[in-house]
């Protein structure tokens, strides 16, 4: 799956999760940019991503994620 497709799907998940249809994310977007993005929302985002892409994350996989770019790379690796 190419990065553009992954980004589009992840953006839909972010929009749904944070209840903001206008939300635009980039590789650089991080938790500091979205007010409600706390550790619980992080898990909600990740579980929605698991469902969407048919993945199973372990805590160790997701602990070091610093921004959306890291997340996209992780999804790309796991769906490759």
What is the binding site for other proteins (CB under 8 A)?
Answer: 17, 19, 39-40, 43-44, 46-47, 50, 56-59, 62
CB of 9: closest distance to other proteins in angstroms? Answer: 18
Instruction: Report the alpha-carbon distance of residue 60 to residue 9 in Å, rounded.
Output: 23
Min CB(2)–other proteins separation in Å: 26
Nearer to other proteins, 2 or 22 (CB): 22
> What is d(CA 53, CA 75) in angstroms, rounded to the nearest whole number?
8
Q: Which is nearer to other proteins, 40 or 80 (CB)?
A: 40
Pick left, alpha or beta for residue 54 (phi over 0 → left; psi -120 to 50 → alpha; otherwise beta): left
């Amino acid at each position: 799956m190419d990065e553009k497709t992954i980004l589009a799907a992840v953006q839909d998940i972010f929009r749904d999760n944070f209840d903001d249809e206008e939300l635009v994310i980039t590789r650089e977007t991080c938790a500091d940019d979205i007010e409600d993005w706390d550790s619980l929302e992080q898990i909600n985002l990740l579980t929605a991503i698991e469902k969407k892409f048919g993945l199973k994350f372990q805590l160790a996989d997701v602990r070091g994620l610093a921004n959306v770019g890291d997340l996209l790379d992780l999804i790309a690796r796991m769906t490759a």
